Structure 1
């Protein structure tokens, strides 16, 4: 199995370790750069590749590096929380496909802030390994599993759970990937999709807006992420107040 690995975050480190443990060393490595590159050095150390086969940031999109990747005769490129738009010239490099691990149960919650929208929209949630396509998160599905959204889940707790499920999904799909004949199922339903900016429209709470307790709780759950920048807020007397929520399950 000839592959290039594109990723960041601890989940990418864990999955690269899994591949290495199975005897699969990458032929090339694509990593993030700058302040958002949380695990670049660890991935580079694990991959053990010469510098010319490590591409930082968007360097993988220039014509010279595209030719380098083509020359590797890759079966796959694995994208694990790799935060770049992939141009069509790169999507078509691997013989079988450029695969992406997405924290959502496709076709629901394509795009950004997937746990938040699963709570807000009440859509199925989970993790999906799929072929990448020019259209965002619309490629054929290889394998996916659902994750139950509990009444006390916030976007943050749900994201922590789905990270673990993503690893499980990749591990279960690995034998198919190794066979070089992975399952492909088209996304027949429309599902849902959201951009990065969509969540901002939900953040401001209008104090006089009529709502139900359930809808308000769900909104606060969805806006309780790992950062106060995405929190719900209200304005009063010229000041802005941010709100996050903690829900504890107890016996009746």
Structure 2
């Protein structure tokens, strides 16, 4: 089977690795163009390109797939199947007709819940207890194609977007490897999505990272977890931005003004609209992340208010 793989970030790497390990490596890999990355803003290859190059696979990096020349190049590859995982570019309708067996996508949610750009973060923000991955056929509508298979997992109380991302990436690769033989035979029936159960995972905006201490502790702990590793939840202390990397909600009843530091000896506990948020890991501008205990060794915070 001639497979074309399209993916860009780290989330797509396990799926590409699974195809290579299957003995049926892609005949070509599409990924987004090299872009500036890191503090130095140096031009860097995507994680998918790095893996593909390590295995000597042909790599293509068009800015768009809309041009006739890109459509013709894809036709020349004569793919049987196109596998897409977090590619970052929309496949135009003409592209969907090129592979003999169609185009499939690994999506990081249990469709039809959380179609869209940020399913991992939105699931945590909503307090979902379960999520997973779905292998689906690609249709012109966003994440609306028939579902070919699913793998589920629980969302733990300590799961961040980072830990859940890695788990789901692995699940997606396992699901693809499991269903690949049936895809090759063209015998995998799809299940239509129930449109009445659709929810959308809007793109995460950096402005969402600012902590509102009027909210309850459970909501704030979810925000901290959902925004790790980006954009990272933040508040202010005497005008200085503090980034909160991890925290835990406590049911401790209190009637102190939201944002007030309640305990600042061994633990950094902050009053919320309801309950208390225990900050576990924190970062100040220009410094590395550190434990709240280490931060408290150098800062006297008792009675101060955050976010004012």
Normalised by the length of structure 1, the TM-score is: 0.82
Q: Is the contact between residue 22 and residue 177 of structure 2 (CA under 8 Å) also seen in structure 1?
A: no
Q: CA deviation at 1:12?
A: 4.0
2:18 corresponding residue in structure 1? 18
In structure 2, which of residues 98, 105, 121 is the aligned counterpart of residue 93 of structure 1? 98
Over 3 Å counting, the alpha-carbon distance change for 1:16 and 1:116 in structure 2 is: closer
Q: Is the contact between residue 83 and residue 103 of structure 2 (CA under 8 Å) also seen in structure 1?
A: yes
Over 3 Å counting, the alpha-carbon distance change for 1:7 and 1:185 in structure 2 is: same
Whether 1:66 aligns to 2:81 is no
Over 3 Å counting, the alpha-carbon distance change for 1:11 and 1:46 in structure 2 is: farther
2:270 corresponding residue in structure 1? none
1:192 corresponding residue in structure 2? 199
Cα distance in 2 for residues equivalent to 1:109 and 1:150:
18
Whether 1:103 aligns to 2:108 is yes
2:272 corresponding residue in structure 1? none
Residue deviations 1:114-163, cap 9 Å, x none?
Answer: 22211111334101111112221111111111110111212221112111
Whether 1:218 aligns to 2:219 is no
Over 3 Å counting, the alpha-carbon distance change for 1:154 and 1:21 in structure 2 is: closer
Q: CA deviation at 1:237?
A: 4.2
Q: CA deviation at 1:200?
A: 3.8
Residue deviations 1:161-197, cap 9 Å, x none?
Answer: 1111111111221221122222211111432112324
Q: Is the contact between residue 112 and residue 195 of structure 1 (CA under 8 Å) also seen in structure 2?
A: yes
Q: Is the contact between residue 11 and residue 165 of structure 2 (CA under 8 Å) also seen in structure 1?
A: no
Q: Is the contact between residue 2 and residue 74 of structure 1 (CA under 8 Å) also seen in structure 2?
A: yes
Whether 1:119 aligns to 2:128 is no
Cα distance in 2 for residues equivalent to 1:31 and 1:136:
19
2:147 corresponding residue in structure 1? 141
In structure 2, which of residues 169, 172, 175 is the aligned counterpart of residue 169 of structure 1? 175
Cα distance in 1 for residues equivalent to 2:95 and 2:158:
41
Equivalent pairs counted in the alignment come to 238
After the TM superposition, list the runs of 4 or more consecutive aligned residues in structure 1 that deviate by more than 6 angstroms: none
Over 3 Å counting, the alpha-carbon distance change for 1:31 and 1:182 in structure 2 is: same
Over 3 Å counting, the alpha-carbon distance change for 1:15 and 1:206 in structure 2 is: closer
Normalised by the length of structure 2, the TM-score is: 0.69
Cα distance in 1 for residues equivalent to 2:192 and 2:22:
29
User: In proportion to residue count, which structure has more strand?
Assistant: 2
- The higher radius of gyration belongs to 2
Q: CA deviation at 1:201?
A: 5.1
Q: CA deviation at 1:101?
A: 1.0
User: In proportion to residue count, which structure has more helix?
Assistant: 1
Query: Which residues of structure 1 form unaligned runs of 5+?
Result: 248-252
1:46 corresponding residue in structure 2? 55
Over 3 Å counting, the alpha-carbon distance change for 1:23 and 1:222 in structure 2 is: closer
